[in-house]
Amino acid sequence: MASRGQLFLVPNTLDFGVAGDADLREVLPMGVLRTAASLGHWVAENAKTTRAFLKRVDAVVPLARPLQELSIVELPRPPKGRDAVAADLKPLLAPALAGHDVGLISEAGLPAIADPGSDLVRAAHALSLEVVPLAGPSSLLMALGASGLNGQSFAFVGYVPVDGAQRTSRLRELETLSRKAAQTQLMIETPYRNAALLAALLGALQPQTRLSVSCGLTLAGAWTRSATVAEWRSHPTALPADVPAVFALLAG
């Protein structure tokens, strides 16, 4: 049997390209950049932003092949609805079956973590392909570490509902779970709704619950504030509408 390629999970920066020509070595290990530069086949959320990322890689480690010769295919959008049928992603891994290494990249951070790339990883395992995760930034884990909340037991719950009543109900549910299990609950929001989520958290949670917000991690001006809900209410902090943030709560 011909040798098979591997699926490399290639971490991205957390700046969504806004840092422009910033040196990737400030965020990503050189080993990651060397691997990225060597790959000729990619599966990505967005081909355009992946090309922009590879241009930044090329400024540090020259690409093994010209950018225009690289194969970059996009993941299909996840199906919506309870009865929706997921797309068969195995064809995206055809290059690996033919002996070529393939890179999987997210829009930001680690592929397959809070990211649809996990479906491709599952397909790789189904084909008995080796999956190789590479080290890089995860906003979720960085925020958890900076929060001072329980890092021994935690859960990422993704997005909470946008509807006001449903969101309040969900936040109180998470607070109750946190209290019973002594477990940190992590969540994210679309940046333009950062302020709305913070307001909802401050309105729904008990005063003694600890709330941490990490904003713009790895970017210039990044910050983390961790305090009780009562302290947040008495000393409000404004959140930007154009910078990603991670929210974490731990009920006492």
Q: What is the CATH number of the domain that holds 54?
A: 3.40.1010.10
Q: By residue range, what is the domain housing residue 198? A: 139-250
Same domain, 230 and 244: yes
pLDDT value of position 16 = 79
* Beta-carbon count within 10 A of 150 CB: 17
Single pTM value for the model: 0.87
Total domain count, the chain: 2
Residue 59 is assigned to a structural domain of this protein: yes
| Three-state secondary structure of 17-73 | CCCCCCCHHHCCCHHHHHHHHHCCEEEECCHHHHHHHHHHHHCCCCCCCCHHHCEEE
Find the range with the poorest average confidence among 10-24, 62-76, 193-207: 10-24
Last residue of a domain, one of 75, 103, 133: 133
Domain harbouring 187, CATH code: 3.30.950.10
Same domain, 27 and 126: yes
Average pLDDT over residues 178-189: 97
pLDDT at 4 over 90: yes
- Over residues 148-159, the pLDDT tens digits come to 999 999 999 999
pLDDT value of position 220 = 86
pLDDT tier at 5, thresholds 50, 70, 90? very high
Find the range with the poorest average confidence among 23-27, 104-108, 119-123, 171-175: 23-27
Residue 52 is assigned to a structural domain of this protein: yes
Tokens 């001072």 found at: 148
Same domain, 96 and 159: no
Average pLDDT over residues 106-111: 92
Q: Between 82 and 121, whose confidence is greater? A: 121
Residue 200 is assigned to a structural domain of this protein: yes
Residue 1 is assigned to a structural domain of this protein: no
Close Cβ partners of 150 (under 8 Å, ≥ 6 residues apart): 182, 183, 184, 250
Same domain, 228 and 158: yes
Q: If we measure between CA atoms, which residue out of 235, 143, 249, 238 comes closest to residue 194?
A: 238
pLDDT value of position 115 = 81
Same domain, 16 and 126: yes
Last residue of a domain, one of 110, 133, 156: 133
Instruction: List, in sequence order, every residue forming a beta bridge with 249; answer none if it has no partner.
Output: 185, 211
Query: Cα Rg for the chain, rounded, in angstroms?
Result: 20
Close Cβ partners of 66 (under 8 Å, ≥ 6 residues apart): none
pLDDT value of position 82 = 58
pLDDT value of position 1 = 47
Same domain, 19 and 100: yes
Same domain, 59 and 169: no
Same domain, 121 and 144: no
Same domain, 83 and 37: yes
**What is the rounded distance in angstroms from the CA atom of residue 117 to the CA atom of residue 104?**
7
- Over residues 119-132, the pLDDT tens digits come to 999 999 999 999 99
Residue 36 is assigned to a structural domain of this protein: yes
**What is the rounded distance in angstroms from the CA atom of residue 121 to the CA atom of residue 106?**
12
Average pLDDT over residues 66-81: 86
Average pLDDT over residues 202-225: 96
- Over residues 30-62, the pLDDT tens digits come to 999 999 999 999 999 999 999 999 999 999 999
Residue 213 is assigned to a structural domain of this protein: yes
Residue 2 is assigned to a structural domain of this protein: no
* Beta-carbon count within 10 A of 236 CB: 10
pLDDT at 83 over 60: no
CB 93 within 8 A of CB 84: no
Same domain, 82 and 187: no
Same domain, 103 and 17: yes
Q: If we measure between CA atoms, which residue out of 114, 140, 139, 123 comes closest to residue 14?
A: 139
Same domain, 145 and 244: yes
Helix (H) or strand (E) holding 174: helix 164-181
Last residue of a domain, one of 87, 107, 133: 133
